[in-house]
Amino acid sequence: MTAVPMIELWRGGMLESVHAGHAVVVDAQGAVVEAWGDPEAVIFPRSSCKMLQALPLLESGAADAAGLGTRELALACASHNGAHIHTRGVTRWLGSLGLGEDDLRCGPQMPDDPEARKELMCSEDTPCQVHNNCSGKHAGFLTLGQHLGAGPEYVEPDHPVQRAVRAAFEEVTGEASPGFGIDGCSAPNFATSLHGLARAMARFAAAGAEGGARDDAMVRLREAMVAHPELVAGEGRACTNLMRAMGGKVAVKTGAEAVFVAILPDAKRGIALKILDGGTRASEAAITALLVRMGALDAGHPVVGRYLSDPIRNRRGLSVGELRLSPGFAGA
């Protein structure tokens, strides 16, 4: 099955652009509830799967042994802006392990946070690895590696940390991964189908405290995300804004190249989507539409306007276009 049109851009009464993709909603039993395009399309989930990558951190006992709280668990799932609340949190975390920035293997990155970026540009400082949007995930990898007594090269695919990540990833998605690519932060990113990724999100959604170590880990991670949406992404970011708008009832996470997932505990549903052209604006609009369709997000909330229904304005503030749902997608 091929990708289907999902998001359209209209300008001057004419269709200017169409963003096609795949999306799937899955229930607690792993069954497809709704799908658009091909739910079995294989993708790299990129950063949308960070909560899966963090499972061994909790299941191994490493998180508790290191005394990690909800802020650290949220950072482990984060693609953050590199603001002070992010970098200071990761720096403290590393320090508590007797480690530092040099122990990270994610590479330096100029922060997306405007104040942090301006601070660096107006000084003689350069961005470091703590500024990397994945530094929290990597702090989690280091915590697990230290707990396991493993070596420092934790991003190597055959390292005990990545072997544990792959095992958890395949168990929760319910699929053997066909392979991996190296992510922007140098860690392996294991491929799976959209169905498998949504199945994993539904597992997180249905998890209860009485379900054993894995369910306990899932509950703790999803609750950390919704308790600290500002740590998962940052001010002005879709993940942060959407989670705030839903009052802590739903966890969402984006990934590079227009992947988005959602965990809906009340409905015990998981969502995964991929826009084929990698367009972030389209993935943000598509996940917003699906959250409205699922009843998790009020259609009248301003955040829906921000990512889906408000007019597109040019630099003079003139209304010059609009996003629309393609016919047949998300109830359109």
Domain that holds residue 319: 4-325
Q: Tell me what the mean pLDDT of segment 39-62 comes to.
A: 98
Q: What would the pLDDT profile of 268-315 be if each residue is shown by its tens digit?
A: 999 999 999 999 999 999 999 999 999 999 999 999 999 999 999 999
Q: Evaluate whether residue 262 is within a structural domain.
A: yes
Nearest-angstrom CA–CA distance, 320 and 303: 20
Nearest-angstrom CA–CA distance, 94 and 263: 29
Nearest-angstrom CA–CA distance, 330 and 221: 28
User: What is the per-residue pLDDT for 209?
Assistant: 74
Q: Evaluate whether residue 330 is within a structural domain.
A: no
End-to-end CA distance of the chain: 20
User: What is the per-residue pLDDT for 125?
Assistant: 86
Judge whether 229 and 244 are in contact, CB under 8 Å: yes
User: What is the per-residue pLDDT for 332?
Assistant: 79
Q: How many CB atoms lie within 10 A of CB 292?
A: 20
CA angle 154, 158, 164 (to 5 degrees): 75
Residue 198 in this model has a pLDDT that exceeds 90:
yes
Q: Evaluate whether residue 332 is within a structural domain.
A: no
Residue 1 in this model has a pLDDT that exceeds 80:
no
Q: What would the pLDDT profile of 164-188 be if each residue is shown by its tens digit?
A: 999 999 999 999 999 999 999 999 9
Q: Evaluate whether residue 320 is within a structural domain.
A: yes
Q: Percentage of the chain surpassing pLDDT 90?
A: 96
CATH code, 172: 3.40.710
Residue 124 in this model has a pLDDT that exceeds 90:
no
Judge whether 51 and 222 are in contact, CB under 8 Å: yes
Q: Which of 207, 307, 198, 205 is nearest to 261 (CA)?
A: 198
Provide the pLDDT confidence category of residue 331 given band limits of 50, 70 and 90. Answer: confident
Q: How many CB atoms lie within 10 A of CB 179?
A: 10
User: What is the per-residue pLDDT for 17?
Assistant: 97
Q: Percentage of the chain surpassing pLDDT 70?
A: 100
Task: Supply 184's token pair.
Answer: 């922007």
The string of DSSP codes covering 1-33 is ---EEEEEEEETTEEEEEEEEEEEEEETTS-EE
Query: Residue for token digits 């006992």?
Result: 61
User: What is the per-residue pLDDT for 263?
Assistant: 98
Query: Is this prediction's pTM over 0.75?
Result: yes
User: What is the per-residue pLDDT for 103?
Assistant: 98
Judge whether 322 and 10 are in contact, CB under 8 Å: yes
Q: Tell me what the mean pLDDT of segment 139-154 comes to.
A: 98
User: What is the per-residue pLDDT for 211?
Assistant: 81
Provide the pLDDT confidence category of residue 210 given band limits of 50, 70 and 90. Answer: confident
Q: What would the pLDDT profile of 82-105 be if each residue is shown by its tens digit?
A: 999 999 999 999 999 999 999 999
Q: What would the pLDDT profile of 243-253 be if each residue is shown by its tens digit?
A: 999 999 999 99
Q: Tell me what the mean pLDDT of segment 44-53 comes to.
A: 98
The string of DSSP codes covering 74-134 is HHHT------HHHHHHHHHHHHHTT--GGG--S-----SSHHHHHHHHTSS----GGGSTT
Q: How many structural domains compose the chain?
A: 1
Three-state DSSP at 326 gives coil
Judge whether 209 and 219 are in contact, CB under 8 Å: yes
Q: Evaluate whether residue 156 is within a structural domain.
A: yes
Give the torsion through C-alpha atoms of 134, 137, 138, 142, to 10 deg: 170
